[in-house]
Each structure stands twice: as structure tokens, then as C-alpha cells.
Structure 1
């Protein structure tokens, strides 16, 4: 059975895997930050597509009926909240090498904590975007139910 590791335990595990070479350990963390940034950019791209679609078809859907208008607004609010979560979380820029604790191990542990924080923000943004997309979908369903 797998056990969730705290940052200190994770560093010890990384040392088991890669040895005590700090450059390798920094490389592992750098790859994690790169992955988070790439996935966050993907979420931002999806949100941008949603907002673009709203600009083209949103007014027509909102004019069709009150329920559709409610869900397009609901979706828009959650998509914008997802964008905010991406910007304050995974895409908040900070160089890994610009900050240092007293020891290399403490520095790596702090970077693991930063990675975990960015991961939580990514999950929040993903959830908000899914709720927003659900709002868009419901708006479309109610719009299509009134179009003949």
C-alpha cells in the first residue's frame, strides 16, 4: 500500500532513488514545475476558448430564455475563477534558484512545498473550469430546447 509522503519524507525518498546529488534532485523538481506550468497553460487555453465562444454565441443563448441566461452567466463566473486560480497558483512565476534556505536539503524541501501548493491550485482551477464548462453545457441544452 502506498503512503502519502510529507516533503521531508519525499526528499529522503528522492535521495534513495537519485542519490544525494543535489543537481539531480533540483532537476527532478524543475521537471515537476515545468509539468505544472504546461498543464496550467492548457487550462488557460481551454478557458480562453470558452470565453471566445461566449463572445460569439453567448448573447444569442442568453437572449433565448432565462434558464439559459443563468447558466451562461454561471459558467462564465466559474471559468473566470479558474483563470484566476491558474494565475495565482501554477503560473505564479518564481525562479527555483532565486530562493535558498540555510541548507540544500531545506531548500529542496521548501521547493517541494511550493510544488505541492501549485498542484493544489491547479486542482482547484481544474474543478472550477469543469463547473464552468458544465454551466456552458447546460446553457446550450436549454438554448437548444427553445430553438426550433
Structure 2
């Protein structure tokens, strides 16, 4: 039983470490948008939609990872009357966390792609206030 617990513990550690790295990337995107989002959005309407959509997807990715991966239920809390039933429950729990991580990373990658597209539009239109924003 001990080797199985240690193996599952390693699996969960990998998932949690990757989730923390992903949350760090989300934080970088959100912080960068706070500094440069206004400049990017000042390029044109498409850039505005891209930057807003990218931040929304990045926030959604963070929410999926926080709730789906970092949400805790200890291995000792897994139900099961026998070792085999317990192991299947623990593996299902791990697989659900892995799926949440995959969804979160997919959302993050799409959000980053939209963010880069907005930056590309800004770089292709280097004039300040290419499209004036309504105040």
C-alpha cells in the first residue's frame, strides 16, 4: 500500500507544481495587461476585442486550475471498502485533476495567442492612438 500512496503522491505533486507555474503565467499576463493593455487597445477595435478576450480566457484558465487542480481532497479521504476500490477512486480523482489541468492550459494557450495577436496589431500600427478611444 505504501508504494502506491507514494506513487500517487508524486503524481499529485507534479500536477500541483504545473498548476502553480500556470498560475504564475496567468499572473504575468494580467499584470502586463495592466501596464500595456491601454496602449494595445488604443490601436483599433479588433485589438480591443482581442485583448479583452485574452484576459477573460486567462482568468477562466486560472479559475479552472484553482478549482479543478488545486482543490484538495486527501488521498486518505478517498472512499473505498477495499484497496482495489480505493485505488480506482484515487486514480479517477487524479484523472479528473489532470483533465482540469489540460482544459486550463488549453484556455491559457488560446488566451496567449489572442494576446499576441493584439500585440501584433499594435506593432503593425505604430502610430499613437491609431484609433481614438471614446472618453
Matched, 1:144 2:119: no
SS at match of 1:91: coil
Q: Any gaps of 5 or more consecutive residues in structure 1?
A: 1-21
Counterpart residue number, 1:83: 62
Aligned residues: 127
Shift of 1:51: 0.3
Q: Which runs of 4+ in 1 moved over 3 A?
A: none
What's the TM-score once normalised by structure 2's chain length? 0.90
Counterpart of 1:129 (choices 101, 108, 125) is 108
Conserved? CA contact 2:78–2:89, under 8 Å: no
RMSD: 1.0
Matched, 1:104 2:78: no
Structure 2 matches for 1:1-148, cutoff 5 A?
A: 22-148=1-127
Conserved? CA contact 1:62–1:72, under 8 Å: yes
Conserved? CA contact 1:75–1:135, under 8 Å: yes
| Mapped partners of 2:75, 2:84: distance in 1 | 14
Conserved? CA contact 1:37–1:91, under 8 Å: yes
| Mapped partners of 1:95, 1:139: distance in 2 | 42
Cα deviation, 1:93-146, whole Å, max 9, x if unaligned, reads 111113341112211110000000000000000100000000100000001111
Counterpart residue number, 1:19: none
